[in-house]
Chains A and B, each alone.
Chain A
Amino acid sequence: MIPSDTHTVPGFEDEPVFEEPWQAQAFAMVVALHQNGAFTWDEWAATLSAEIHGPTKRPYYDHWLAALENIVEQKRLTSASDLRKRKVAWHDAAARTPHGQPIRLG
C-alpha cells in the first residue's frame, strides 16, 4: 500500500497517544505542576519510577495517576483525606446529574 499523504506514513499515527481523556488530564497536570515549580522533574521521575516498580503492575497511566497523588501529598499541596473526600463528592455529583449534562460539584 502506498501512503497517500504524510499522515499515513508508518510510525506517525499507529495509535492514539491517550486512550481516555483522564490520561491526558493526569499527564498535563504533572507538566503544569512542574512548570509552576511544585516539584523538580527529577522528583517526579523518582516518584513515578517507585510507583512503576512497586508490587502492583498496572497500565502506565494508572501508575502515572497514583504517582501524581503521591507527590502532591508528599509536597503537601493537598492531603490524601481531602482527595478521598473530594472524590466522593464527584461521585455524588455524578449521581444527581442527569445523563448527558456536565457534572458539577454542588
Chain B
Amino acid sequence: MRVGYYPGCSLHGTARELDESLRAVAPPLGLELVEVNDWSCCGATSAHATSHLLSVALPARNLALAEEQGHDQLLAPCAACYNRLASARHAVACDAALAETIEDVLGRPFPSTVAPRNLVEVLRARLDLLRERAVRPLTGLKVACYYGCLLVRPSEVCSFDDPEDPVSMEEVVTATGATPVAWRRRLDCCGGAFSVARTGSVVRLSRAILDDARSAGADAIAVACPMCHSNLDFRQKALVRRGEAELPVLYLSELVGLALGLDAETLGLGRHFVDTKALVERALASKPGPAAKPGPRPSAPAAAAKPASPAAAGTEAV
C-alpha cells in the first residue's frame, strides 16, 4: 500500500524518533511511505494566528503537491500538521470563493482529492497485520492513550473517531498486546505551543495529565503528536515531584515497533528525555508470542468493515 508521506518540520527536528519508528514499522505493516517531493511547512500555530488565507494556502500547497505526485492519501504523523491539512481541506470544501482564491494563490489547480490521514488512523487500518506480526506482544504493559486536542477535534474536520470519547488509539494499543487503562485526561490540552511562551501554563496542564495517567496505573503514555510528546517528555524532568517515578512517553509507532520485534535503537527510543530503558527491557523479556493469537478480537475490525460508516470506509482505504 503506497501512501504519500508528509513528515512536517517536527519529524525532521524534535520528533525524529517518530519519523524513524514510523519508517521502521511501515514495511512489516505493508505500508510504502513515499515522501512528498518539495513539501513545505503546514503553517502550524503561527499561520492561522496571523492570516486565515495563509493558514489554508500552506497546507493546500502540500495537498496539491501530493495530488500532482499521484497520491490519494497523505499521512501526516504530526497531529498538528494533520489538523492543519484536514482543516484547510474542510475550509476549501465549504467555501467556493475561497477555493478559487486558493487556486490563484497556489498557481495550480486544487481539486482537493487527497485525503489527509493521521498516525492513529493509518495504524488502526492495519490492525490485522499488526496482530499477525506482533512477535513480541507487550502483555501486561499498561498504557494511557493520550489523544490531546488536535487529533479528533473539531469533529466536522477530524471525523475518524468520536471527538469526546474516542477509541481508536486504545484499539491499536490492544493489538500490540498491551492493556489500555481507563483515565480522564486523555483529551485534555497539554499546553501545546505555549511550551516556550507560557511555560507555567504548560507545566500546570501537563502535570495534571501525568498525575492522572499515573493514578490510573499506567506504565507508559502513548502519544501521536510531537508537541504533546515534547511537553510530556521533555518537560517531565521539571514536573516530577520528589520520590515520584518518571513515566515514559512513547509514540504510538514506537509501541507498535516494539510489538513487531524491532529494536530500540531503530525505533529511536534512545532519543527520549525520560529513560525508556526499563520499559524496553520489560518488552524484550516478554515471551515471543505466537504470531496470530486466537481468542476474541476487539471490536475494531468489525466496526471498520461496516461500509455504512463513511469514516470507517475511509480508513479501510488506507
> Bound pair: A and B?
no
